[in-house]
Structure 1
Amino acid sequence: MDFYFKKFEHRKPPEPVPHSHSRELMYQYLATCNLTLGIWYLWWRWSFALNYDALWFSLPLAFAESCAFIGSLLFTFNLWKTKDEPKREPPHKIKECVLDTEEDRPISVDVFFPSYDEEPELVKLSILDAQKVTYPYDIDINIFILDDGKRETMAELAKEMNIGYITREGNTGFKAGNLRNAMEQTYGDFVVICDADTRPFSTILEHTLGYFRDPDVAWVQTPQWFFDIPEGERLPAFLTRKFGSFSGKIGRGIEKFYGPVTLGDDPFVNDPQMFYDVIQRRRNWANASFCCGAGSIHRREAVMEAALRSYSEQIVKEQSEIEKQIRKMTKEKSVDKDVSDNLKQEIFIDTEFTPYKFHVSEDLYTSLVLHSDSERNWRSVMHPEVESKMLSPQDLQTWTVQRFKYSGGSIDIFMNDNPLFRKGMSLKQKLMYGASFWSNLSAVWNIIFLLCPIVYFLTSIAPVSAYDVTFYMHFLPFVLTAELAMMVGTWGVAGYKGKTNFLSFFPVNFKALWTVLRGKKISFPTTPKERQNGTFFKLVIPQMAVFGLSLFSLIYAWTGYSTGTYGSYSFGGLVLNTFWIINNMMAMWGMIASAFWNPKPSDDEQQESEQGKEEVEYGI
């Protein structure tokens, strides 16, 4: 696979957005204004602006607006301030990282590469980079391939590269079970979690182990960076490649009028900078930055100690539930002590000890366990600088599988082990986790936001009492301050694509929600590391339906208004809903285009293609 990576090796990760105290104060001012105006708007909306002649339409929109406002409130709290953990010198000996120890030995670190069906060539590149990791002092670094595929080729690779190889009989717990199996057979003070395609930088330990001088730090998460994200192709070059040099002149003319136009740049909106540099980084002040798996460094003591406490709590909980059923059946006030002891022993035998929770979102679940450990008060750190590089999803099918897994895992935790009711967590932590989980329920109100302008255009029935001056006096200040606050709060990170992607994500998000509500488990599929061939028309049928209906209803309404032949539209209502529906269509179009996206061919591939065409033309 070397040929694929060579064209991306020169790329450098983005620097963290510099913190600006004045910009932060400006954001807090704008966000406070926006929330105040939002409360004012919703109060007026529910009290005076419902269309009582069409409550079937008006109430769902008011509900959706209220749910979205709750999300804005939580997001504002998340973005409130930046408080980076101060960097500290890398520790020399283990005694500098723990309390009450006389051990005077070098630090020991295990680097895990869980794998299932990835190509050995891909894993080899990750191992080669891991072997280049440096540290200013003596340190014991042990690298392991955790092979859940039980492949001879992977065992041979480990032997060839002189690293550890760990496998197991079954695949219980999938990645979480794989990590547990490795934890039982290794002894490092710290554990670096990587994916098969995670290529750590040489500085990863030197830049992160200093945080562990604080004995309460349980793990450090570093930003994930996809170094192979398509940079796109300028419109003139694209037209020239597709239709010849003349069309390239047309493209240059369009750019002179409109500005630079780039096609195919990050078609799946994979760039995670918004998540890591804005959302995760600004959770440090609340000790609520959660683990995201790859690129994280864990204190073994923290993981094992929290797992033991969680294990004990699980046994007590199961015993209590069973004894409650026994008392209900026997009508006794208490369960006999011998029966209770035997029951506890049976549960102890049947319950798996899991350092990493057997869950599709094992990293998030582990974060919850550690953050809610009130006896130990473990801390997490979001390190702002990129310390590794990874591969991005290169087709819509891979992207969909990955997003379904993330969304479904979060919703499953929210429904079955809600952190808002979990003991041991502070209010700030609960609100931060709540922001993440609430966003995964957004499909419910996003569907309403997508349908409302369509319904208005097709029926001319307004979801509000009237699109008049009073409406705009309440609505526009709220919306404008929201946009200004978002612009200032995410300064330095492109955000528009993320917002539209969030809206077009509704089918996957809704499917994940429906799967959890039906009591079905979210599966553990591995994310393919290579592009899947073909187009993925079926995956964007919902988005195409929304786009088509939006376009038809837009034309239908303006035709009716301009001819006066049907409908009772107001000009103000048409203008507002036109802007609304165009935004929805742009969001859908991005997802639709990604289903048919193909990467720009390399020079060698383009030359082979042209040579093939010539051979066909000359009958060779």
Structure 2
Amino acid sequence: MTSGRLLVVRCLALLVVAFGGTYMVWRWSSTIAWGAWWIAIPLVLAETYSFGESVLYGVTMWNSRRRPAPPPAPRGRTIDVFIATYNEPLEIVLTSAIAARDMTYPHKTWILDDGNRQEFADAAKRIGVGYIVRGPDWDGRPRFAKAGNVNNALFRTSGEFIAVFDADQVPDPAFLDRVLGYFDDPEVAFVQTPQRFWNVPRSDPLGSGADLFYGPIQQGKDGWGAAFFCGSNAVLRREALMALGLTMFSRSAAERVRKALHDGRRRVQAAVNIHLPGDIGQIIGRRAVGLLVEAEARVRRGDVLADVTYVLRRQIKSIALSDMLPQPVIDAITDTLGAAEVARTDRALAIDPIVTSSITEDMATAMHLHALGWASVYHHEVLVQGLAPEDVRTMLSQRQRWATGTMQVFFSDNPLLLRGLTIGQRLMYLATMTSYLNGFAAVVYIAAPMVFLVSGIFPIRCDSIAFFVYFMPFFLCSQTLFVVAGNRSRGLWRGQQMSFALFPTWIKATIAGASAAFFGKTLTFAVTQKTKQATGIGLRHIRPQLIAMAALVLAGGYGAIQAADGQRPLFASIITLIWVGIDIVLLSAMTRAARYRGPGHIDSPFPRALTDEVRDVIVDIHHPTIAGSTAASQPCHAPTPPAANVPVRAAGAELAILLYAAARFDAVAALALRSHVAESVLDGAPVVLVDVSGVRTITPSAVAVVVDLLRLLRTSGGDLRIFGDSRSFALAYETMALSHVTRLHGDPEEAADSAYANGPWRRGPAQRGRGAHRQSTIMSGPR
């Protein structure tokens, strides 16, 4: 937006506030028809809401930011490119993966296949990209849809930055070169670019084009330091995500453990009362309940949570012998220990870098990154081409998921109450969240004119001309602001239509989001289909809109007849009929959407070489004898643990293993450490002691892996103990508020508890015969 246009926008925003504020004061003070309060109050509330939305739109546009060209991409950075997929067709995913592979800046490309499909693994091998699926740790545990898929990949890769694309988003070769320069600023957490859909016709009957959002609105939010992460077409700093995951983990740990112990104690007590009538069983049951009470008290006192849960597990194990307790009691105890374990053994990952508390994980992640003080960038250049829904049912499902997740965040994590956000950031997130409350306002705007036309009850007590004089300046200024700030963006009118016409979707989403936030209702992540699913006209999907349109037509006809007969005030009737006409025009967008049968033939915007390679790979996979080709290069798979080594044990003694952390303890070194810990788990779930005394530099990624290693070992019945005098490690623990979660021991004797103090310490495989220094080099990098 040019400086001249921005000045006009700011003047219009001030006029909206002035005229709108005058109108709302007049409405609330002089015009409410209290005799018809049941429609008058909802109407004035709806108008107040609309005024608030206009003000928030003006505030957004007030700081619209037009960024200059970014700095050149720095050399030598490491990037992992994620193509997230679940059930999309192979052709679509391959198109995105090959285009991502061919981006000019050096990087690694990974297909994150949540569908775990063999043909996708074969395709990844043929095109020379990595292939990541979820491991057995995820079996029977919450998966968190796309957020879980990306988080899983974050703990199996080590690039400084990650680029995230949906399965149908095809990047330009220059994508990374165009956005990486922004990360010269160490405070930038992510850079978002627009979404553009190549299969949308110019008429855009489904309202898929989001030129207003991916343009003036994002530029406005960017001006307030609140550009949104939209889940795809973005590059994120790994360390920012890991810092976020660690912070949210540590902040919630104590309350989560305390609540799990409290709820588990009640469940175990109930199981004991029902299934343990005997004296011996009651004694054991009461002892188990007493241990849970004692553990909860320790949490309240502020004891280190890892110590509390480890001691509790060992104490419970010593009394809860399986042959003395019935299965329901064992299940209650086991579930309680899993839920109360600070390392989250009931989850596949201890840390969630991408927020999993909402099905709109992108917005929630961005909001919490901003709350931590990280910056964001909106780069207004189309560098990715994607696919939009091609039928009304899929479009409605997509919009409901977006709205439901947003309202879930609104009710459970309201930006007005979130610590760390600036006032501008709070308003930017609030503007997006409250926009979905428009569904309730739309119902009022549909019902109010029908009430007058049918019954003659007018919800506004005033002279019609006075209403016209007060209302029209506000209305005209609001619409002018919308158009001028839109800066010739396509789809402005279609966006207004859809915002009103999708009122049933917004209402359902608000109710679902509130139910999830207040009553713990589980929300289902509905993957947007990338191919047309519906055939024929989809009128059955827009029944509420059709009913509303029919009711408006009937009420309008009846009211017109009444006005012609002198039964209704003529001027008021004319204004109301115009109101009805506007409602019908807005709602008519849904009939057009329901009749839409796809874009027909649209030429692919992708180069011939790309489409030819996709076709060849698919033929090669499905008909190898016909294609007769081989892979062009070897795949780059995610790191996997090495083969297990034979443990060294002393008779009757437990096993303990000593490992060393590298001097630069970053994502690469932490993944190497994780690999050796996974090996030790296969050797018999020991206590693993990690010496961090040589650590000079540490990153949030390394700390996050360490916390997840605690989960890995606790799940297997072992434990992780960190020791060593490292100022860097201690500072990281304090910064991430982890000192109350897990203990950083001063020396190995302190780290090894009495159960392991007299047992053998087995050094890692490379350490035997080569010395400790060589061991640390091989396992965790140079010290």
Q: Secondary structure at the match of 1:527?
A: coil
Deviation of 1:289 (Å): 0.7
- Does residue 146 in structure 1 map to residue 112 in structure 2? yes
Rg larger for: 2
Query: Residues 74 and 180 of structure 2 are in contact (CA less than 8 Å); yes or no, is this contact kept in structure 1?
Result: no
Match of 2:471 among 470, 475, 484: 475
Aligned partners of 1:85 and 1:40: how far apart in 2?
36
Specify the code of the residue in structure 2 equivalent to 1:142.
Answer: K
Q: Secondary structure at the match of 1:107?
A: coil
Deviation of 1:283 (Å): 1.1
- Does residue 127 in structure 1 map to residue 121 in structure 2? no
Residue 213 to residue 338, structure 1, CA distance change in 2 (3 Å): closer
- Does residue 504 in structure 1 map to residue 501 in structure 2? yes
Deviation of 1:362 (Å): 1.1
Match in the other structure for 1:161: 127
- Does residue 67 in structure 1 map to residue 68 in structure 2? no
Query: Residues 458 and 557 of structure 1 are in contact (CA less than 8 Å); yes or no, is this contact kept in structure 2?
Result: yes
Query: Residues 515 and 521 of structure 1 are in contact (CA less than 8 Å); yes or no, is this contact kept in structure 2?
Result: no
Match in the other structure for 1:448: 444
Query: Residues 87 and 210 of structure 1 are in contact (CA less than 8 Å); yes or no, is this contact kept in structure 2?
Result: no
Q: TM-score normalised to the size of structure 1?
A: 0.81
Residue 148 to residue 51, structure 1, CA distance change in 2 (3 Å): same
Query: Residues 318 and 347 of structure 1 are in contact (CA less than 8 Å); yes or no, is this contact kept in structure 2?
Result: no
- Does residue 299 in structure 1 map to residue 293 in structure 2? no
Match in the other structure for 1:15: none
Match in the other structure for 1:516: 513
Q: State the number of aligned residues.
A: 530
Aligned partners of 1:364 and 1:600: how far apart in 2?
30
Query: Residues 34 and 478 of structure 1 are in contact (CA less than 8 Å); yes or no, is this contact kept in structure 2?
Result: yes
Q: TM-score normalised to the size of structure 2?
A: 0.65
Deviation of 1:309 (Å): 1.1
Deviation of 1:334 (Å): 9.3
Aligned partners of 1:284 and 1:603: how far apart in 2?
33
Aligned partners of 2:599 and 2:56: how far apart in 1?
40
Q: Secondary structure at the match of 2:236?
A: strand
What does residue range 59-458 of structure 1 map to in structure 2 within 5 Å?
A: 59-93=41-75, 106-135=76-105, 139=106, 141-169=107-135, 170=138, 172-231=143-202, 265-319=203-257, 335=300, 343=308, 346-350=340-344, 352-358=350-356, 359-373=358-372, 377-458=373-454
Specify the code of the residue in structure 2 equivalent to 1:353.
Answer: I
Aligned partners of 1:211 and 1:603: how far apart in 2?
35
Q: Secondary structure at the match of 1:530?
A: coil
Aligned partners of 1:317 and 1:444: how far apart in 2?
36
Residue 308 to residue 504, structure 1, CA distance change in 2 (3 Å): same
Specify the code of the residue in structure 2 equivalent to 1:570.
Answer: P
- Does residue 525 in structure 1 map to residue 522 in structure 2? no
Residue 295 to residue 41, structure 1, CA distance change in 2 (3 Å): same
Match of 1:52 among 20, 31, 34: 34
Aligned partners of 1:87 and 1:433: how far apart in 2?
26
Aligned partners of 1:324 and 1:117: how far apart in 2?
40
Deviations 1:559-580 (Å, cap 9, x if unpaired)? 111134xx3x212211211221
Query: Residues 51 and 464 of structure 1 are in contact (CA less than 8 Å); yes or no, is this contact kept in structure 2?
Result: yes
Deviations 1:106-137 (Å, cap 9, x if unpaired)? 211111011111111111111221133124xx
Higher deviation after alignment, 277-286 or 162-171: 162-171
- Does residue 574 in structure 1 map to residue 576 in structure 2? no
Residue 586 to residue 201, structure 1, CA distance change in 2 (3 Å): same
Deviation of 1:480 (Å): 1.4
Deviation of 1:71 (Å): 1.4
Aligned partners of 1:574 and 1:467: how far apart in 2?
13
Specify the code of the residue in structure 1 equivalent to 2:64.
Answer: T
Deviations 1:315-371 (Å, cap 9, x if unpaired)? 134246579999xx9999994566976556644122631111223111111112211
Specify the code of the residue in structure 1 equivalent to 2:584.
Answer: M
Aligned partners of 2:298 and 2:530: how far apart in 1?
58
Deviations 1:254-284 (Å, cap 9, x if unpaired)? xxxxxxxxxxx21101111111101111111
Aligned partners of 2:155 and 2:481: how far apart in 1?
48
Aligned partners of 1:148 and 1:413: how far apart in 2?
25
Match in the other structure for 2:665: none
Aligned partners of 1:527 and 1:321: how far apart in 2?
36
Aligned partners of 1:576 and 1:84: how far apart in 2?
41
Gaps of 5+ in 1: 1-18, 94-105, 232-264, 605-620
Query: Residues 299 and 305 of structure 2 are in contact (CA less than 8 Å); yes or no, is this contact kept in structure 1?
Result: no
Q: Secondary structure at the match of 1:194?
A: strand
Aligned partners of 2:98 and 2:297: how far apart in 1?
65
Higher deviation after alignment, 335-344 or 354-363: 335-344
Aligned partners of 1:344 and 1:26: how far apart in 2?
61
Aligned partners of 2:601 and 2:44: how far apart in 1?
51
Residue 193 to residue 554, structure 1, CA distance change in 2 (3 Å): same
Query: Residues 16 and 478 of structure 2 are in contact (CA less than 8 Å); yes or no, is this contact kept in structure 1?
Result: yes
Aligned partners of 1:554 and 1:177: how far apart in 2?
51
Match in the other structure for 1:4: none
Query: Residues 311 and 353 of structure 1 are in contact (CA less than 8 Å); yes or no, is this contact kept in structure 2?
Result: yes
Query: Residues 87 and 211 of structure 1 are in contact (CA less than 8 Å); yes or no, is this contact kept in structure 2?
Result: no
Deviation of 1:593 (Å): 2.1
Residue 167 to residue 59, structure 1, CA distance change in 2 (3 Å): same
Match in the other structure for 2:612: none
Match in the other structure for 2:21: 39
Aligned partners of 2:66 and 2:487: how far apart in 1?
17
Specify the code of the residue in structure 2 equivalent to 1:33.
Answer: L
Deviations 1:413-439 (Å, cap 9, x if unpaired)? 111111210111111110111111111
Specify the code of the residue in structure 2 equivalent to 1:32.
Answer: L
Query: Residues 111 and 131 of structure 2 are in contact (CA less than 8 Å); yes or no, is this contact kept in structure 1?
Result: yes
Query: Residues 83 and 284 of structure 1 are in contact (CA less than 8 Å); yes or no, is this contact kept in structure 2?
Result: yes
Match of 1:537 among 536, 539, 554: 539
Residue 460 to residue 343, structure 1, CA distance change in 2 (3 Å): farther
Match of 2:552 among 550, 559, 563: 550
Aligned partners of 1:121 and 1:392: how far apart in 2?
16
Aligned partners of 2:71 and 2:305: how far apart in 1?
52
Residue 562 to residue 595, structure 1, CA distance change in 2 (3 Å): same
Aligned partners of 1:172 and 1:222: how far apart in 2?
27
Residue 603 to residue 477, structure 1, CA distance change in 2 (3 Å): closer
Specify the code of the residue in structure 1 equivalent to 2:5.
Answer: R
Aligned partners of 1:288 and 1:317: how far apart in 2?
29
Aligned partners of 1:210 and 1:480: how far apart in 2?
42
Match in the other structure for 1:490: 486
Deviation of 1:52 (Å): 2.6
Residue 229 to residue 333, structure 1, CA distance change in 2 (3 Å): closer
Aligned partners of 1:120 and 1:178: how far apart in 2?
18
Aligned partners of 1:83 and 1:134: how far apart in 2?
28
Deviation of 1:491 (Å): 2.3
Deviations 1:458-494 (Å, cap 9, x if unpaired)? 1111111134222222111111111222221112113
Gaps of 5+ in 2: 266-292, 311-339, 604-783
Query: Residues 199 and 599 of structure 2 are in contact (CA less than 8 Å); yes or no, is this contact kept in structure 1?
Result: no
